[in-house]
Homo-oligomer: A and B are copies of this chain.
C-alpha cells in the first residue's frame, strides 16, 4: 500500500500557511509531509514508538575480524535487559519502548546458535534465513499500533557481514566499504578485508537473497523482515547505522517501495554506510560520528520527527494568528 499522495499534497499546502517563511523549517517540513502520506492523515503522529533491536552471533568471528569475542553479544543482551547499555539510556530520552530479540546467539539457538563462518560456507541456509526474516516480521505484527519503528542491532562480527553485503550490493571494492567496526586495529582491518574478499569469491552471490544468506546474519535477516512487514503495514521506520542500512538495502532490492516508509537517521563513520546511502539515493538526518549501532542513531532522530510533527500539527496559520504573510 503506497503512501497517499493526496495527504502529502494537503500537508504541503498546510506547511505553506503556517506562521513561518515558506520552506524555512527545511527538512522538518519534508518529514511532516511524508509522515502524513504514510499514515494517511492530516495530523501525523510519532507515538507510540519503539526501538526493535535484533541480536545474533557470527561464525566469521573465528577469523579474528573483531577485537571482541562472540560472548560479548550475549553479555550485551543481558546488559540491554538490565538497562545499562547506550540504547537503554537513549530510548529513555526518546520515550521509546525498547524491544530486544535474540535471533540466534552462542547460547540461544533461536534460529541457530549464530551463523556459520561464511569464509568457508554460506552463513545461513535459505530456510534459516526465512525463519530469521519471519522473526522480524512477527515482531512488527506484535507491535501493531506503533507509529515509528526504530531499527537496532547487536552482534559481534556484524560489520564484517554488512561490509560483505555492501560490496556485493554496490559493486564497490571490499576495501572501500570496510571499516574498523568496534575498533579493530590496522592488521585486523587488513584481515577483515581479506576474509570478506575470500567469502565473496567463494559464494559470488548475485541476488539480494543470495547475498543475505551467504554473507549476512540472523539479526540482519530479521531486520529485512521488519522493513518488509512495516512497509506492508504502512508503518514508518527509522533506519539506524551501517548494519541496519545494509538490511534495509536488501529489503529495498526485494521491494523498492519500502523506501517510501523509511527515514534514515544518521551516517556513521563506517565507510560502507555512506556507500549504501548513495546506492539508494537517500540522505540521513544526522552526522554525529556514531559507530555503535544498537539503534542509538534511530533513538537520537526520534525527537526530530517529534519536532516536525509538532510544528505541523500545532502551529498557527498566518490567518488564524493575524500575521501578515504578504510582501509590502
Measured CB to CB, the closest approach of chain B to A86, in angstroms, equals 5
With A26-B289, A86-B315, A290-B25 already in contact, the answer to whether A71 and B307 are too (CB < 8 A) is: no
- Asked whether, in the complex, the Cβ of A321 is within 8 Å of the Cβ of B285, the reply is no
Q: Is A172 engaged at the interface, CB distance under 8 Å to the other chain?
A: no
Interface segment among A15-23, A35-43, A220-228: the answer is A15-23
Residues of chain B within 8 A (CB-CB) of A300 are 303-304, 307
Q: Which of A87-95, A115-123, A161-169 contacts B (4 or more CB under 8 A)?
A: A87-95
> A316 at interface (Cβ–Cβ under 8 A)?
yes
A303 CB contact (under 8 Å) in B18, B86, B89, B93: B93
- Asked if A311 contacts B269 (CB within 8 A), the reply is no
Are B68 and A307 neighbours in the complex by a CB distance under 8 Å? Answer: no
A90 contact from B84, B307, B323, Cβ within 8 A: B307
Contact flag A21-B183 (CB < 8 Å), given A76-B323, A288-B285? yes
Q: A300-B304, A303-B303, A310-B93 are in contact. Are A19 and B315 (CB under 8 A)?
A: no
Number of interface residues of A (CB under 8 A): 63
Is B287 in contact with A86, judged by CB distance below 8 angstroms? no
Q: Which of A272-328 contact B (CB under 8 A)?
A: 285-292, 296, 299-300, 303-304, 306-307, 310-311, 313-316, 320-324, 327-328
Q: Which residues of B contact A18 (CB under 8 A)?
A: 86
* CB contact list, A57-101 vs B, under 8 A: 64, 67-69, 71-72, 75-76, 78-79, 82-86, 88-90, 92-94
Please state if B324 and A71 are interface contacts (CB–CB under 8 Å): yes
In the complex, whether A182 has a CB less than 8 A from a CB of chain B is yes
Copies assembled: 2
Point out the residues of chain B lying under 8 angstroms from A72, CB to CB: 323-324
A27 close to chain B: CB less than 8 A: yes
With A72-B324, A75-B323, A79-B321 already in contact, the answer to whether A288 and B304 are too (CB < 8 A) is yes
Q: Which partner residue on chain B sits nearest A183 by CB separation?
A: B21
Contact (A310, B75) CB under 8 Å given A288-B304, A303-B94, A315-B84: no
| Chain A residues with a Cβ under 8 A of chain B | 18-28, 64, 67-69, 71-72, 75-76, 78-79, 82-86, 88-90, 92-94, 182-183, 269, 285-292, 296, 299-300, 303-304, 306-307, 310-311, 313-316, 320-324, 327-328
